[in-house]
Structure 1
Amino acid sequence: MPETLSNHVNNTNSNSENKYKTDLENDESAPPLRRSAFRALVQDFGPIWFTWCMNAGALGLLTHQSPYQFHGLEIISTVFYVFDLTLFIVFSVIFILRFTIFRSSAYREIVSQQTELTLCACWPIAFLTLTSLTPVICSNAYWGRHAFTILGYVMWWSSATWSLLVLFWVFITLIRQHDANDRRLPTTIILPAVSVATVAVTGGSVVSLSYDVSPRLAVPVIVVSFMMVGIGILLGLMLSTYLFHAFLAQGWPAPAMTASTFILVGPMGQSAAALLQLGMAAREYGKFGGYNKGSFLTAEAAVVLETACVLIALILAGLGVIWSILAIYAMIERALQRKLFWTPGWNAIIFPMATLTTSMNLFAVEMDSPAFRVITVVLIIVLLFVFLLNLAFTIWKVVKGELLIVKEDWRGKKQLEERQKEK
């Protein structure tokens, strides 16, 4: 009897699904239920895929600057750089194609969803990782030198402008088109703040680690980067306060979005790393001393400035550690509840934690601390493991047709469901 009832239910569900597909196919005005692989790839391609570039670029920088080096580590860093560059080019072409082919509908789909809108900040952040890696790796190679230094310099000013434009566009769109009174804002709202903080740390990296950057070129980048890190810190603190209040009022995010709690680490870790890198650029790399104008842009002022940067960076990194512990606890709690499962949102773990790892590495340099060196290496190993885990799950989901290329179009289903409700 139970088997007969089960078969009846299954047959009923199957008949309903077949009727649903038939109705959709007969509705000429509705989008098709099935589509080609190319159309599926382009039409559904979202900015979240640029997190792969961000993560690869961050790991490339970490392995290149690791406090403990071995012969193959430089090769691993270069592999991450090439991987980052290749993905960025491919993903950018696909993302641009989405707006070229689908035009206003693609734009409406992006701006109507808060998560998709705020994730657009991932595109300039991904470009910023290339802005760091290109001069650091290529300008210091025997075949690169000053040409790639200038290329990195131009890329930095371009990415700084791009990040600010995206920041204004995202927040203005949120203010004009979205109401936050009756809904929970996504944790990704903090990404524009991470973007401008990334501009700052990238500026410090470009002027410090590129081949033969003159003080005349370096000082404007350092000054603007300090302004950028101020934006990153203040926006990050304000938005973190709002998100933390949401945690207190409503609990952790949904199980599928639990990993996104790591995003709160980003503004703190990146701002701390930016201050450390800029302070070192001003004093240790002699940019202020070489410029030597006024009362601020001098070697004497650089000594005080670097000390202040280290102190503020310690405060910010401490808050970043708190956020990371809370995020790890949230993941463990979901796992114990058997609600934890892999989603593309797990990519949110790597870049924020990489920013904190970068600050730990710079603390090791500033304090000549073996403890910070060991912490840095342990975090790099953990992040490499998470990156490979995400890569394995992503490939598996893509092969199964559940990710990136999903031929069944959700738009057709949604449109038919709305019409059936109207009837």
Structure 2
Amino acid sequence: MGPDATGANSISPLRKVTSSVTWGWYAISLSWGGIAVLLHQTPHQFTGLKIIGTIIFIANLLLYTTVTLCLLVEAVYPRKVSKPLEESPNFAARWLHIKKPQDLFFVPVSLLAFATIIFCTSYYGTPHCGRWLILTLNVFFWVYTGVSLLLAIALGWWIPYTGTTHGDHYAIVQILPYFPPMLSGTMAGLLAPNQDPAQAMPMLVGGTTMQGLGFLLFLVILVQSMTELSTEGLPNPDVRPEMFIAVGPPSFTIIAMISMADAAVQKLPDHYITAATSVRPADVLLIITVAVSVFLWALAFFLFCMAGLSMLEALWHRTIRFETLWWCMVFPITGFVLATIDLAEYLCSAPISWVSTGMTIFQVALWLSITMCQLFVWVCKQEF
């Protein structure tokens, strides 16, 4: 059958792609950025690994830019209405790309992906650039922190105001509006060691504040998710990749708190807390942080096992097929691997270090598998 009278089949391939892009597509960029960070941090390096990480970082920049441009194209030049009875897109659908209320939960993924770009810029760019990049990253930290906090407050109020629920998604997606502030803590721990003490101290305090806000809200939403899991059973197979999102907050809390505590040892004065006159507060903070991180790692491991078994059950019974939603798995598991790497370093454990290396290999294999599946869907099946 040729093109119909409505012109539905006459859409160009480029517009077919741009019209399919949603906020969830930023999860692809988020995953690639996380892998670039992981390759830089994995304990057992080999020659050329940093070059591979740099290539992935550059590819991630192209991915993030492409997704952003697609959203802008659809906002500025929306497709013409093909059916006479079809309504033109309203402001939210055209400019904000909110076609259904649940899309609100995935808007913050764009900020998460941008955070990984800042991480990679610090890792791969700082050794090759001057002091200007360090100062620029300091500005980016405060801009990112401010935007992520404002977005968390806005969505935290608007979602209950409009009565928006998670719908068919797993309840843990409700943490996504509060996830970007948590990465402010990770960002502070990464950037503070290169900053002067006058800039590092406010950064560490701000990062700790945002990390605490995000993690406490995560605990509230985790209780709701586990309650739903125990009363209603496992979520539908097609949304089970979202279960891995729960692995991210405890993992990145480990990364953030350990890195900020380590930076505090270098940057904080000996008697930053004036009442503590016999010990260095930063040393005590680092010891407590490492101990608490072991608890949080156990929580992340449990949530990873719950999500992993649920996915394996769906794959075994062939009740699930590949979708873009599978990218939800990559970044949280990457955080879990990075948290294990940090614990291996600060516990001085060679066995844990080798375990983390094995986890890195598994994670890279998972990322490559999902990438190949996505390319097959896009190129061979022409599905977007």
Q: Which moved more, 1:157-166 or 1:315-324?
A: 157-166
Contact 1:54–1:126 (8 Å) recurs in 2:
yes
Deviation at 1:287, TM superposition (A): 0.8
Does residue 339 of the first structure (1) align with residue 319 of the second (2)?
Answer: yes
Distance 2:65 2:167 in 1: 39
Q: Which moved more, 1:301-310 or 1:392-401?
A: 392-401
Does residue 173 of the first structure (1) align with residue 158 of the second (2)?
Answer: yes
Distance 1:183 1:126 in 2: 24
Distance 1:89 1:182 in 2: 30
Deviation at 1:222, TM superposition (A): 0.4
Distance change (3 Å), C-alpha of 1:297 and 1:182: same
Deviation at 1:173, TM superposition (A): 2.5
Deviation at 1:112, TM superposition (A): 2.8
Deviation at 1:34, TM superposition (A): 4.8
Letter in structure 1 aligned against 2:320: L
Letter in structure 2 aligned against 1:74: K
Distance change (3 Å), C-alpha of 1:206 and 1:258: same
| Counterpart in the other structure of 2:198 | 216
Distance 1:177 1:366 in 2: 45
Distance 1:112 1:69 in 2: 45
Contact 2:166–2:173 (8 Å) recurs in 1:
no
| Counterpart in the other structure of 2:82 | none
Deviation at 1:136, TM superposition (A): 2.1
What is the RMSD of the two structures over their aligned residues, measured on CA atoms? Answer: 2.5
| Counterpart in the other structure of 1:12 | none
Q: Provide TM-score, normalisation by structure 1.
A: 0.81
| Counterpart in the other structure of 2:333 | 353
Q: Which moved more, 1:87-96 or 1:225-234?
A: 87-96
Contact 1:111–1:117 (8 Å) recurs in 2:
no
Contact 2:61–2:117 (8 Å) recurs in 1:
yes
Distance 1:140 1:397 in 2: 38
Distance 1:322 1:186 in 2: 17
Identical positions, percent: 20
| Secondary structure of 1:228's aligned partner | helix
Deviation at 1:171, TM superposition (A): 2.3
Gaps of 5+ in 1: 1-17, 405-423
Deviation at 1:108, TM superposition (A): 6.8
1:221-272 CA-partner distances (Å, limit 9, x unpaired): 1000000110121111111111111211222222211111111111111112
| Counterpart in the other structure of 2:233 | 251
| Counterpart in the other structure of 1:201 | 186
| Counterpart in the other structure of 2:84 | none
Distance change (3 Å), C-alpha of 1:107 and 1:367: same
Deviation at 1:121, TM superposition (A): 1.0
Does residue 134 of the first structure (1) align with residue 121 of the second (2)?
Answer: yes
For residue 310 of structure 1, the aligned residue among 290, 296, 305 is: 290
Letter in structure 1 aligned against 2:121: T
| Secondary structure of 2:187's aligned partner | helix
Letter in structure 2 aligned against 1:48: G
Aligned residues: 371
Distance 1:257 1:59 in 2: 23
Distance change (3 Å), C-alpha of 1:181 and 1:386: closer
Deviation at 1:77, TM superposition (A): 1.4
Does residue 289 of the first structure (1) align with residue 289 of the second (2)?
Answer: no
Distance change (3 Å), C-alpha of 1:287 and 1:264: same
For residue 143 of structure 2, the aligned residue among 136, 155, 158 is: 158
1:328-352 CA-partner distances (Å, limit 9, x unpaired): 1101111222213222111111100
Distance change (3 Å), C-alpha of 1:83 and 1:304: same
Deviation at 1:200, TM superposition (A): 0.8
Distance 1:34 1:249 in 2: 48
Contact 1:59–1:380 (8 Å) recurs in 2:
no
Contact 1:64–1:77 (8 Å) recurs in 2:
yes
Contact 2:255–2:339 (8 Å) recurs in 1:
yes
| Secondary structure of 1:340's aligned partner | coil
Q: Provide TM-score, normalisation by structure 2.
A: 0.89
Gaps of 5+ in 2: 79-89
* Equivalences for residues 20-419 of structure 1 within 5 A: 25=5, 32=8, 34-102=10-78, 104=91, 105-107=93-95, 110=98, 112-114=100-102, 116-141=103-128, 144-180=129-165, 186-208=171-193, 210=194, 213-283=195-265, 286-289=266-269, 293-295=272-274, 300-404=280-384
Distance 2:18 2:39 in 1: 33
Q: Which moved more, 1:92-101 or 1:116-125?
A: 92-101
Distance change (3 Å), C-alpha of 1:244 and 1:137: same
1:106-132 CA-partner distances (Å, limit 9, x unpaired): 257516331x21111110111111111
Deviation at 1:311, TM superposition (A): 2.1
| Secondary structure of 2:355's aligned partner | helix
Distance 2:173 2:214 in 1: 14
Larger Rg: 1
Distance change (3 Å), C-alpha of 1:318 and 1:139: same
Deviation at 1:82, TM superposition (A): 0.9
Contact 1:78–1:137 (8 Å) recurs in 2:
yes
Q: Which moved more, 1:77-86 or 1:93-102?
A: 93-102
1:175-213 CA-partner distances (Å, limit 9, x unpaired): 1223449876543222223222112111111113x4xx2
Distance change (3 Å), C-alpha of 1:134 and 1:162: same
Contact 1:128–1:198 (8 Å) recurs in 2:
yes
Q: Which moved more, 1:312-321 or 1:166-175?
A: 166-175
Distance 1:165 1:92 in 2: 20
Distance 1:288 1:207 in 2: 11
Deviation at 1:37, TM superposition (A): 2.4
